[in-house]
Amino acid sequence: MITLRGLTKRFGAATAVDNLSLDIEPGRVTGFLGPNGAGKSTTMRMVLGLDRPCAGQALVNGRPYVTLRHPLREVGALLDAKAIHPARSGRSHLLAMARSNGIPTRRVDEVLATVGLDRTAAGKRGRTLSLGMGQRLGIAGALLGDPPVLMFDEPVNGLDPDGVRWIRQLMRSLAAEGRTVFVSSHLMSEMQLTADQLVVIGRGKLIADAPVAEVISASSVTAVRVRSPQPAGLAALAQRLTAATGQVETTGEDELTVTGVSRQQVGDLAYELGVRLHELSVRSASLEEAYLELTADSVEYSGTSARSGGRHA
């Protein structure tokens, strides 16, 4: 279990993490979400004793990380896949980690097999590893001590679709064993498939701490799907809906997706125009839509479309 109480970190005048209190519980995958600059990586670094809090505390199974005698047996972490000496092989890197924490040598080969790195791949020097291979090696390092707590920062970076599915299944299986799994990611679709619980922060402050389904159901973002066998009528309907402040996307020759208006409003307008409908249904928000709504006021770095005519800040 990871426990954060009043955790605060400032860098000069900037507050990276602001009075954050959380319980990251075992037996489930907890997704850690937030815009760039929200404080996710800083929070993880404080859990691992890499950054010192200005106030509050971060505990692993009730103790500060720096007090753990064999930390790799308590918590495994992947924060930077490139954290390997460029001249050292992947296997040698893991052997050094194992010896530093009294972990049997055989465990190195076990975790290499778990992450799918064969002897040839494990023998490559750090400087020659691809991003995907580096990620797998980093995950092997996190698993090395068979710890009850695991932390992953953007673990799917550089992985192909098969690798993404593999890490998803791995995280869920680790949680099913009763371990604490805390994972940061910007891939909302993957978090929707992987996480049980979500922690969302913005500008260092807690925005949400709730099950995935609850975060999605709380969103006000819904879309109305409209299908009609009358293309001209559908085009007229789209024009009127746009004028009624609805956002209309043509998703097929006979289909529209509309946000900003209710299903009843769409149905009434279609009746008024004499447009025959084959479907009029409501689609609930995706995690991405719910997340964007939650963090709309917390985005530190934003841009404008090239077509929007916006000026540079």
Contact of 58 with 46, CB cutoff 8 Å: yes
Q: Which CATH class is domain 2-217?
A: alpha beta
Give the rounded percent of residues in the chain with a pLDDT score beyond 90.
68
- Give the pLDDT confidence score for residue 307 in this predicted structure: 37
Domain ranges in the chain are 2-217, 222-284
C-alpha span between 148 and 101 (Å, rounded): 15
Structure tokens given for 244: 């009624």
C-alpha span between 200 and 185 (Å, rounded): 11
Between CA 185 and CA 211, with CA 168 as vertex, the angle to 5 degrees is 65
In tens, the pLDDT along 33-90 reads 999 999 999 999 999 999 999 999 999 999 999 999 999 999 999 998 778 888 889 8
The mean pLDDT of 239-255, rounded to a whole number, is 85
C-alpha span between 5 and 122 (Å, rounded): 39
Over the range 49-68, which residues count as b (16 or more CB within 10 Å of their CB) and which as e? bebebeebebebbeeebeeb
Q: Which CATH class is domain 222-284?
A: alpha beta
The mean pLDDT of 208-223, rounded to a whole number, is 87
- Give the pLDDT confidence score for residue 301 in this predicted structure: 56
In tens, the pLDDT along 98-157 reads 999 999 999 999 999 999 888 888 888 878 888 888 889 999 999 999 999 999 999 988
Name 206's Cβ contacts closer than 8 Å, sequence gap at least 6. 20, 21, 22, 199, 200
pLDDT of 312 > 80? The answer is no
Q: Grade residue 300 by pLDDT with cuts at 50, 70 and 90.
A: low
Structure tokens given for 6: 């009043």
Contact of 6 with 13, CB cutoff 8 Å: no
Mean residue pLDDT across the chain: 90
Sign of CA dihedral 295, 301, 307, 309: positive
DSSP helix/strand/coil, 311 = coil
C-alpha span between 81 and 65 (Å, rounded): 21
C-alpha span between 6 and 205 (Å, rounded): 11
DSSP 153-176: ESTTTT--HHHHHHHHHHHHHHHH
Continuous H helices in the chain: 40-47, 90-100, 106-115, 119-122, 131-143, 161-176, 188-194, 212-217, 231-243, 263-273, 287-294
- Give the pLDDT confidence score for residue 52 in this predicted structure: 96
Q: Tokens 């103790």 belong to which residue? A: 63
- Give the pLDDT confidence score for residue 4 in this predicted structure: 98
The mean pLDDT of 250-258, rounded to a whole number, is 88
Q: Grade residue 93 by pLDDT with cuts at 50, 70 and 90.
A: very high
Q: Grade residue 251 by pLDDT with cuts at 50, 70 and 90.
A: confident
pLDDT of 266 > 70? The answer is yes
Nearest to 208 by CA among 10, 22, 6, 61: 22
CA-based max dimension of the chain: 76
The mean pLDDT of 194-203, rounded to a whole number, is 96
pLDDT of 234 > 60? The answer is yes
- Give the pLDDT confidence score for residue 304 in this predicted structure: 47
Asked if domains 2-217 and 222-284 share a fold, the reply is no
pLDDT of 270 > 90? The answer is yes
- Give the pLDDT confidence score for residue 303 in this predicted structure: 56
- Give the pLDDT confidence score for residue 203 in this predicted structure: 92
Contact of 59 with 42, CB cutoff 8 Å: no
